Amino acid sequence: MTGMGGHQGRALRAGDVLELGKKEMAPGVFLPAAVEKGSRSHFPQGKLRVILADDRLAQHLTGQRFQISPRSDRMGYRLEGGKIAVAPTGELISTAVPTGAIQVPPTGEPILLMNDHATTGGYAIGAVVIAADLPLAGQLAPGDSVEFVACSLEAADDALRQREALLDAS
CA distance 137 to 130: 10
Kindly report, residue by residue over 66-95, the tens digit of the pLDDT. 999 999 999 999 999 878 877 776 667 888
For residues 152 and 160, the answer to whether their CB atoms sit within 8 Å is no
Domain ranges of the chain: 42-168
> What's the confidence (pLDDT) of residue 85?
76
> What's the confidence (pLDDT) of residue 19?
79
Dihedral of the alpha carbons of 141, 146, 152, 156, in degrees to the nearest 10: -30
CATH numeric code, 42-168: 2.40.100.10
Residue, of 91 and 105, whose pLDDT is higher: 105
> What's the confidence (pLDDT) of residue 106?
87
> What's the confidence (pLDDT) of residue 1?
46
pLDDT at 128 over 90: yes
> What's the confidence (pLDDT) of residue 20?
76
For residues 57 and 127, the answer to whether their CB atoms sit within 8 Å is yes
Kindly report, residue by residue over 55-73, the tens digit of the pLDDT. 888 888 998 899 999 999 9
What would the DSSP string read from start to end of 96-140? E--TTEEEE-TT---EEE-TT--SEE-SEEEEEE-GGGHHHHTT-
pLDDT at 29 over 70: no
